Chains A and B, each alone.
Chain A
Amino acid sequence: MNKRKLLSLPYLVWMIGFTVIPLLMILWYGFQKKTGGFTLEHVLAIARPEHLKPLLISLLLSVICTAICLVIAYPLALILRKANLKKSSFVIFIFILPMWMNFLLRTYAWLNLLDDGGLVYVLMQKMGFKGNIVGTYSAILLGMVYNYLPFMVLPLYNAMTKIDDFTLNAARDLGANERQVNLHVILPLTFPGIVSGITMVFVPSLTTFVVSDLLGGRKIFLIGNIIEQEFSTASNWNLGAGLSFVLMIFILVSMAILNHYDTLGEEEEA
């Protein structure tokens, strides 16, 4: 039995080399002066208005995006579960398939629809909505929801298909109506799925620079854009790393919350 443990070693070494050390590199750069020596300057730079504003906008947009995705995806997963498809793989297939059309192109395609002359633009004009949403927060929000919705649907659907029909029938036999079944049986049982969906949507939408690049009309800068620019054009790596460190804290907090609920789920299973 002990020999089997050894098989976990190669990947452990890999993880240290390709996950742990690289993350430590961000700390190394982030807490170092350009000329060498320890400093907090790059991390505290997040409080400067030119960084704080993008961070706050990113936080706001990603929270709204996560909420929209949850509101869209939960009933969707519920409907899909009740449809009781013989082939649950088909559902997964439909939500994974768009990923085979390149992420950048998919987002870029929204420009064709939203910009002056596009189908959605024309429809919106007809409905009395004036103006072009390209280059606004709404366009970025739309792009985020579009790209990250599958990351919410899949864990929710997964959690829901795991619920046994007997459990629901038992609740009904005990006199629960549909609303009570949804609220007191399905909702608590899908909680780990909700938490995992929230993290999987929140993290990429908080840190994206591509969606804002494509749909923001080069007018809106999110914290992801600022960091990307520090590395690519401004080449102030220490500042970029310092700001990334601040982002990592936000991510770590959400991961800690997820981990907490994940282990809870595992205990229940066992």
Chain B
Amino acid sequence: MKKLKNFFGNAYLAIVFVFLYAPIVTLIVYSFNEGRGRKWQGFSVRWYEELFHSASIGDAVYNTLTIAFLSALIATVIGVISCIGLQALKGRTRNLYMALNNIPMLNSDLVTGLSLMLAFIAVGVTFGYSTVLLAHISFNVPYVIVNVMPRYRQMNQSTYEAALDLGAKPVKAFLKVVLPELMPGVISGFLMAFTMSLDDFIITHFTKGPGINTISTLIYSEIRRGIKPSMNALSTIMFISAIILLVLTNFSPTGSKTEVKDR
């Protein structure tokens, strides 16, 4: 009976897994297609070659990666600092603060994107790299906070005070005592923010200027004409690098230990 149950469980997992990854496998396979259409016309790496010769794709990749990295980094700094402040807040103020923080996560990307666009217009800033970066920081901070906050609550607050008693300056006490405790939350917050920024289309669509593209908006502009397989090639490369990167960080012995302890 138990075996049968396990079998059904595993079969179910396999089906969901296939559902999640079937389109991705399709994309990877078509990135090696000689022709453009849906028909298989033989193996080729021509789209990979084209990829490295296209200036517009190069720009989009540069913008996407730098915006994802910068917005995640800045959001992490803001998020960690606010967590410390937030912990000192009490009652209603704290609830209000958290409610405000939750808005970008729970609100629709469409509304967030539109509202930021209208606000940027009202202030009169030129739309471009900086508006997209600001928008991405805004929707990334909440993810950092929800990842860091639980760690902060769990940790023993008196360690920080002990460090102060032993003569450490507040900043040093924070960097040497508090931050290492928070690190797993900080890392997962950063990675989540980076991923969200990387995968975002809607908010970027409304906050970018005419001259600038990220990978998402470049793909969107190609939809009407049919997306070039070089985009598949690009995504394949990013996907494979993500696997390598995440496997390296997730399965290193120190990384996994803290994760288990966390649960």
Contact = CB atoms under 8 A, between A and B. Distances in A.
A228 B205 CA distance: 10
A146 to B, nearest CB: 7
Contacts of A31: none
A88 B23 contact: no
Interface string A184-223: 0000000000000001100110111110011000000000
B116 A104 contact: no
A259 interface: yes
B122 A25 contact: yes
Contact of A109 (B27, B100, B117, B216): B27
Interface centre among A80, A162, A259 (most CB of B within 10 A): A259
B223 A89 contact: no
Contact of B21 (A20, A79, A98, A209): A98
B103 interface: yes
A127 interface: no
B199 interface: yes
Interface stretch (A34-42, A45-53, A112-120, A169-177): A112-120
Nearest to B20: A98
Nearest to B192: A96
Interface size class of B (residues with CB under 8 A): 35 or more
Q: Helix, strand, loop or mixed for chain A's interface?
A: helix
Interface of B is mostly: helix
Interface string B192-207: 1001101111100010
A18 B116 contact: yes
Interface stretch (B41-49, B50-58, B234-242): B234-242
Interface string B178-203: 00000000000000100110111110
Contacts, number: 235
A104 B223 contact: yes
Contacts of B110: 207-209, 224, 227-228, 244, 247
Contact of A207 (B109, B116, B220): B109
Given A11-B141, A79-B12, A82-B9, A105 B100 contact: no
A224 B198 CA distance: 22
Interface string A1-34: 1101111111110110011111101101100000
B256 A14 contact: no
Contacts of A11: 78-79, 81-82, 85, 101, 141
B260 A199 contact: no
A146 B263 contact: no
Nearest to A223: B110
Please tell me the size bucket of the interface on A: 35 or more
B80 to A, nearest CB: 9
Contact of B78 (A14, A95, A228): A14
A6 B84 CA distance: 9
A149 interface: yes
A131 B16 CA distance: 25
A150 to B, nearest CB: 8
A105 B219 contact: yes
Contacts of B101: 11, 15
Nearest to A254: B106
A7 B235 contact: no
A81 to B, nearest CB: 11
Contacts of B79: 11
A59 B141 CA distance: 29
B62 interface: no
Contact of A103 (B20, B99, B122, B216): B216
B232 A105 contact: yes
A103 B201 contact: yes
B24 A101 contact: yes
A204 B104 CA distance: 12
B82 A79 contact: no
A203 B111 CA distance: 11
Interface string B22-44: 11101100100000001100000
Contact of A244 (B24, B84, B95, B114): B114
Contacts of B235: 101-102, 105
Contacts of A231: 114, 117, 206
B192 to A, nearest CB: 8
B166 interface: no
Contact of A199 (B24, B27, B103, B106): B106
Contact of B82 (A10, A103, A108): A10
- A-B CB proximity, top 3 nearest: A8-B85, A7-B85, A22-B115
28 contacts: A4-B87, A5-B85, A7-B81, A7-B84, A7-B88, A11-B78, A18-B135, A19-B100, A25-B118, A26-B111, A87-B260, A93-B246, A96-B192, A100-B199, A105-B27, A105-B227, A108-B227, A112-B30, A117-B39, A118-B38, A204-B109, A207-B111, A208-B110, A209-B110, A214-B223, A244-B115, A255-B107, A259-B102
